[in-house]
Amino acid sequence: MRNIILSLILVIHLVLVGCSGTKEVQFLAYVVGLGIDYIDDEYQVILQFLDFSNVAKTEQGKANESIPVWLAKGSGNTVETAIEEIYKNIQIQVNYDQLNLFLLGEGILERNLQETLQSLVSNFNVRLTGWVYGTNVDLENVFTAKMPFQYPYSISRMNQPQDMQHQNSTIPPITFRELLYMYNEKTKTMLIPSISLEDQVILQNKKGIITTYISGAYLVKNQTFLGWLSENDLYGFIQVNEASRRNITVIDVANTLSAIEVLKPHTKLVMKKEGYVLTSQIGVLVRESIEGLNLNKIKEKVSENIKKDVMNSYQKGRNLGADIFNLEDHAFRHHYDDWNATFKHQSVPELLEVEINIKPVRSYDKLREEEL
């Protein structure tokens, strides 16, 4: 009996000792966003923290009142020294388990992306699974942008980008791991979505609030910054990208504009001797006939629009030396001998032709993404 009691005491002691080094969750500073820029020859680092008062919600899933945004900012001649400045002043231990957002300033993308990636990869505390964006806006203004209805920032489009693709597709989001992979691939052109601010669209009591939106993409290939294109410049790319779920194309019928929904493209590349043909099958939601046009005419006009947009996006990228449809990478992976003989020596392979096959859809379940 005595041995049993001693064993129980020993087990309890070991359990208590094992928990002695843990911290209560409310006594940690949880990072949810990390921003880095390079300004005046210094790295500027901003951490955005989770406020637990914005976690305890009402039944509607939102706070009863406006919740403050907690940030910390540091500067230094390296990313590490800038973060260390934050650690010296934060007062409590910083935890990166909830990190979901990386925001890179234009100064980083243009001049110091490689050094920044190396610093983050070598930091064993930082999770590398969050979404990545670029911006030319002050990082503090992005992190303090508002959410309508007092909803938490954790459900914003920046933090959950794939959700809004079903309603309004734009530049496909990329994760930090995907960025690392593509950055080190010589044949891949990487599109990093860019964030801008708007204060005239969402209103609270007639007063505009500052919100974020995706305005375009920064282009990087072979560890080289190529430039920036607007969302309008890249609209053809968006329309045939397989990450897209819903877009709008506007056709002109007898000087009357009609908006047509474009759904779930399926795109493939076909290599020819002189270049590439891009073929895409696209669903078009036809709710009702458009006066003066039959279905074949609608398909023809939609196809013409998308072809024009695709070639425009291709040319805009090519002007910057960017291969936005990754034609070279396709040749490198699927037709290596042809790539080595021809496309290896071209900055951007030729896009010879765009073929758009329109599939009319009468009814569509947008939640299940299937035709009814």
Same domain, residue pair 43 and 192: yes
Rounded distance, CA 158 to CA 213, Å?
8
Distances from the Cα of 139 to the Cα of 129, 144, 172, angstroms: 20, 9, 21
Point out the domain boundary residue: 215, 231, 247.
231
Point out the domain boundary residue: 197, 231, 265.
231
- Pick out the chain residues at pLDDT < 70: 1-26, 52-66, 286-293, 362-372
Q: Which helix (H) or strand (E) holds 298?
A: helix 295-319
Do β-strands 189-198 and 131-135 pair in parallel, antiparallel, or remain unpaired? parallel
Do β-strands 256-271 and 211-221 pair in parallel, antiparallel, or remain unpaired? unpaired
Same domain, residue pair 184 and 262: no
Q: Which residue has the tokens 């709008």?
A: 248
- Angle at the Cα of 346 (from 118 to 218), degrees rounded to 5? 40
- For residue 224, with 0-12 CB atoms within 10 Å meaning exposed, 13-18 middle and 19 or more buried, which class applies? exposed
Range of the domain at 135: 1-231
Rounded distance, CA 246 to CA 268, Å?
18
pLDDT digits (tens, 9 = 90+) for 135-194: 999 999 999 998 888 888 788 889 899 888 888 899 999 999 999 999 999 999 999 999
Same domain, residue pair 277 and 218: no
Same domain, residue pair 193 and 338: no
Please answer whether residues 43 and 111 qualify as being in contact, where contact means their C-beta atoms are separated by less than 8 angstroms.
Answer: no
Same domain, residue pair 186 and 123: yes
Nearest to 228 by CA among 319, 333, 302: 319
Same domain, residue pair 169 and 245: no
Point out the domain boundary residue: 231, 261, 291.
231
Tally of domains within the chain? 2
**Collapsing DSSP states into helix, strand and coil, what is residue 176?**
helix
Q: Which residues lie below 8 Å from residue 220, measured CB to CB, with a gap of 6+?
A: 109, 113, 182, 183, 189, 190, 192, 226
Same domain, residue pair 267 and 291: yes
pLDDT of residue 260: 86
Same domain, residue pair 157 and 81: yes
Same domain, residue pair 64 and 4: yes
Same domain, residue pair 41 and 107: yes
